[in-house]
């Protein structure tokens, strides 16, 4: 490898290592040992974007894929995609719920790459699909695993990822109301007030929304979606995301004035985490 590329690779690894350790490089401090990028593990936290298996939030536009070019006829293969910005696994920008807050093209790359913790509430959600995670739940989790990092994404593993593609996923009652677990309003206020979500943290969930499905005021979403905070929704494969120590990286197109984006979301696992 030419010297210039070796220097660039070492510099990138050093920056990445500092980010993963939560430290800012300073001349007066010892250099953070670089993390080799080939030692990172990635886990996919996204469902496949398939109209046959995608549960669409009530009222959102239908999701279709149409083949518009084939190799035998056109020399290349291409599909035309029609879907809402929040169809399937996606991330949401603050302006999705709050007028005047940042939209997709106002966000910084660091807003989409955050430390993450996973809170397993599958047992409580199975017993009560309308369960709202409480402050006591969060404090009990911290007693076992340590303080939630500032500006983190707090991911709820409700077990709904296993229901994807079936009527059990929206879990709609006879009255048309969704029955899905989420965060209680006091719990999200606590996460915000104590700095755990900070300016650019957020929430994650394997359901449609961080709100309990029966709360049609979307109060939790309105609280989360402020400043540069994000919400990662309809996550998949949460079994592979460690309880602590991982980061989440959200991709997808940056639409002008977008409310967010359908996304491929990865869990990024540093060496020794997993």
For the residues 3-31, what does the mean pLDDT come to?
45
**Cα 227 to Cα 65, 93, 94, 152, distances in angstroms:** 34, 9, 7, 14
d(CA 254, CA 34): 30
Enter the tokens of residue 212: 């309990």
* Strand locations in 45-201 (E): 64-69, 78-82, 90-92, 113-120, 132-133, 153-157, 182-183
11 or 246, which is more confident? 246
Name the percent of the chain lying above pLDDT 90.
Answer: 85
Band of the pLDDT at 274, cuts 50, 70, 90?
confident
Residue 68: pLDDT above 80?
A: yes
User: In this predicted structure, what is the pLDDT of residue 18?
Assistant: 46
pLDDT tens digit string along 230-239?
Answer: 999 999 999 9
DSSP 8-state code for residue 61: P
**Domain positions in the chain:** 3-35, 41-56+86-269
DSSP 8-state code for residue 253: -
Enter the tokens of residue 151: 């500006």
Q: What is the CATH number of domain 41-56+86-269?
A: 3.50.30.50
Residue 270 φ then ψ, to 5°: -65, 165
Residue 192 φ then ψ, to 5°: -75, -50
Residue 20: pLDDT above 80?
A: no
Q: From 7, 230, 241, select the one nearest 97 (Cα to Cα).
A: 230
pLDDT tens digit string along 84-140?
Answer: 999 999 999 999 999 999 999 999 999 999 999 999 999 999 999 999 999 999 999
The structure tokens 């669409």 sit at 56
Residue 15: pLDDT above 50?
A: no
Average pLDDT, the chain: 91
User: In this predicted structure, what is the pLDDT of residue 155?
Assistant: 98
> Global pTM?
0.88
């Amino acid at each position: 490898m030419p010297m210039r590329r070796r220097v660039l690779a070492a510099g990138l690894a050093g920056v990445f290592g500092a980010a993963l350790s939560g430290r800012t490089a300073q001349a007066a401090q010892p250099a953070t040992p670089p993390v080799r990028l080939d030692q990172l593990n990635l886990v996919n936290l996204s469902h496949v974007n398939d109209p046959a298996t995608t549960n669409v939030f009530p009222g959102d536009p239908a999701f279709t894929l149409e083949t518009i070019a084939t190799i035998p006829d056109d020399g290349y293969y291409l599909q035309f995609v029609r879907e809402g910005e929040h169809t399937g696994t996606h991330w949401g920008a603050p302006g999705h719920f709050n007028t005047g807050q940042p939209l997709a093209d106002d966000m910084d790359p660091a807003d989409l790459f955050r430390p993450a913790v996973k809170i397993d509430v599958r047992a409580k959600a199975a017993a009560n699909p309308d369960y709202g995670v409480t402050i006591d739940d969060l404090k009990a989790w911290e007693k076992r695993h340590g303080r939630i990092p500032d500006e983190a994404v707090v991911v709820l593993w409700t077990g709904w990822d296993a229901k994807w593609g079936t009527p059990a996923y929206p879990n709609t009652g006879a009255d048309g109301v969704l029955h899905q677990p989420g965060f209680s309003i006091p719990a999200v206020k606590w996460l915000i007030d104590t700095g755990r979500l900070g300016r650019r943290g957020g929430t994650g969930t394997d359901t449609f929304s961080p709100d309990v499905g029966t709360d049609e005021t979307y109060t939790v979403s309105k609280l989360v979606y402020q400043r540069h905070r994000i919400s990662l929704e309809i996550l998949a494969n949460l079994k592979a995301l460690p309880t602590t120590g991982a980061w989440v990286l959200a991709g997808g197109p940056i639409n002008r004035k977008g409310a967010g984006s359908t996304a491929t979301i990865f869990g990024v696992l540093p060496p020794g985490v997993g």
